[in-house]
Amino acid sequence: MSSREVPAQIGDLPPIGRPANSALLAAGITTLAQVAACSRRDLLAMHGVGPKAVDILAATLAERGLAFADRRPRSACPT
Tens-place pLDDT, residues 18-77: 999 999 999 999 999 999 999 999 999 999 999 999 999 999 999 999 999 976 555 678
In a domain? residue 3:
no
In a domain? residue 4:
no
In a domain? residue 32:
yes
Domain count, the chain: 1
Residues 6+ positions from 1 with CB-CB distance below 8 Å: none
In a domain? residue 31:
yes
Domain span at residue 25 reads: 18-68
Cα–Cα nearest to 68, from 29, 36, 33, 28: 36
**pLDDT attached to residue 38:** 95
Taking the CB of residue 15, how many other CB atoms lie within 10 A of it?
14
In a domain? residue 63:
yes
In a domain? residue 39:
yes
